[in-house]
Structure 1
Amino acid sequence: MPASQPTILATSGGYRYGERIQLEFNALLHHAVELSGTGRSTPRVTHLGTASGDQRYFNDHMQEAARHAGWSLTNLNLFPMPNLDDIEGHLLDQDVVWVNGGSVANLLAVWDVHDLRPVFRRVWEAGVVLAGVSAGSICWFLGGTTDSFGPELRAVTNGLALLPYGNGVHYDSEERRRPLVHRLVADGTLPTTHCTDDGVGLVYHGTELVEAVTEQDGKGAYVVTRDGDTAVEERLEPRRI
């Protein structure tokens, strides 16, 4: 059963080191499944690692983490070719689509080659929860800040635009992120921009931001708006999950 309305969870988190395995799913990824409202005893989650080139070792970590969580997980690979015949049909049958981090510029380029923009819109409208971390967060917005082009952060402005905002990730852990977000909002390169500290996620129903949630204490979310030729930042206190 899909979520009752289009839902996105955009995050700067979702993983933790495991005690017996390399990687476990943290509270944000579990929250994505909760948002789906699935009645399945074994939730269906598809992971896309496009932004890092579909690294097979990370796919294995995701499979192991899913077994630990009691979920059914599919790795949707686009390198060297799609590993599924009917990508849209598969995604429509999922509870959650989770997009991992890496290069958001490369991710968007590869998705465009495979004409996935309209597919993701239809999947979102059908109530499958779209979620992800870092590049897997920015992709759902109009754009954000990225190191896709090199060590110096730059703007990316060709996101899927399901959400009509900019997105800033790793807001507290990478010191160049905040000032660049402020500059890009102030000069109009990015619209109003929603940002997350590491461990924080933003929940959207349709295009409305309804809640900030966190898997770590002391973290924040932020809304940066333009006021004349300056940027104004408002902190949102996330709910601990």
Structure 2
Amino acid sequence: MPAPSPTILATSGGTRSGARTALELAPLVHYGFELAGVSGRRPKLCYVPTAGGDQDYRIAWLHDAGRAAGVDVTHFTLFPMPNTADPAALLGDADLVWVGGGSVANLLAVWRLHGLDVVFRELWRQGVVLGGVSAGSICWHIGGTTDSFGPDLRPVTDGLALLPYANGVHYDSEAQRRPLFQRLIATGELPEGYATDDGVGLVYRDTRLVEAVSEVRGKGAYRVAPDAGGVVEERIEPRLLPAAS
């Protein structure tokens, strides 16, 4: 079932340590199924772990988390070769495509090599909800800050640009993120954008931000825009999701 309009859920969360499994699906992922309009059946999630190098253990963790939550999980991988001859069909069968964290620079390069930039744009237009965490959040935007190149964060400016904004992730938990994000917007290297504390997600319909949601109490989202040679930062109070911690 497609979402009523192109929808992206860009987050700094979505999974957490499980009681009986390594990971469990946290409220942000479950909200992704709600955005997709899933009702009366098991939700379907397709996990895309490109940014982490398609690690088998992470794929297994997501499948275990899905079984525990009553969610049907598939996965799409590109290493050592695509695991399907028809990526659009595999990804398009999901209610929610969830892109994991890791190297957003590597993710974008590999996706483009395999034509996934075109595939994702078409799925987005068709109403498949696109989501993810960290690299899986930045990728849908024009760019953001990344540790893809080393421990000193650098800009990435060649995102898929389905959303015409910059994106900041882990805004409250990694000390370099906030000042670099603000500096890149102040200098014009990145356009105005939105950032999320850990546990917070941004919901976009078409290219418009419609709400911020959180699975953790006390966290925030932020709009950062250029202003007189600097930036102005505006806190956006997220709506707390059910079962938030």
Structure 1: give runs of 5+ residues left out of the alignment.
Answer: none
Secondary structure of the 2:142 match is: strand
Find the residue that maps to 1:141 and give its secondary structure.
coil
Determine helix, strand or coil for the equivalent of 2:165. strand
Asked whether the 8 Å contact 1:3–1:38 carries over to 2, the reply is: no
Give the letter aligned to residue 162 of structure 1.
Answer: L
Give the match for residue 131 of structure 1: 131
**Corresponding letter in the other structure for 2:144:** G
SS of aligned partner of 1:62: helix
Q: Distance in 2 between matches of 1:40 and 1:97?
A: 20
Query: Do the aligned residues in 2 keep the contact of 1:143 with 1:157 (CA within 8 Å)?
Result: yes
Alpha carbons 1:195, 1:222 under 8 Å: kept: yes
The alignment status of 1:184 with 2:184, answered yes or no, reads yes
Deviation at 1:228, TM superposition (A): 2.5
**Two-structure CA RMSD over aligned residues (Å):** 0.7
1:39 CA displacement: 3.4
Which whole-Å CA distance do the structure 1 matches of 2:74 and 2:135 have between them?
Answer: 19
Q: Is the 8 A contact 1:10 1:136 kept in 2?
A: yes
Consecutive unaligned residues in structure 2, runs of 5 or more: none
1:91-106 → structure 2 map (5 Å cutoff)? 91-106=91-106
What's 1:171 paired with? 171
Partner residue, 1:122? 122
Q: Deviations over 1:125-146 (max 9, x none)?
A: 0000000000000000000000
**2: CA distance between counterparts of 1:145 and 1:217?**
25
Structure 1 segments of 4+ aligned residues over 3 angstroms from their partners? none
The alignment covers a number of residue pairs equal to 241
TM-score w.r.t. structure 2 length?
A: 0.97
Give the Cα–Cα distance (whole angstroms) in 2 for the partners of residues 150 and 90 of structure 1.
33
Q: Does 1:141 align with 2:136?
A: no
2:55 paired residue number: 55
The 8 Å contact of residues 76 and 90 in structure 2, kept in 1 or not, is answered as no
Give TM-score, length-normalised by structure 1.
0.99
Question: Which stretch shows the higher mean deviation, 39-48 or 100-109?
Answer: 39-48
Q: What do residues 34-71 of structure 1 show as CA deviations (whole Å, max 9, x unaligned)?
A: 11002351111100000010000010000000001111
Instruction: Provide Cα deviations, 1:173-227, integer angstroms capped at 9, x if missing partner.
Output: 0011110011000000010110000000000000000000000000000000001
For the 8 Å contact 2:63–2:73, the answer to whether it is kept is yes
2:7 paired residue number: 7
| Aligned-pair identity (%) | 60
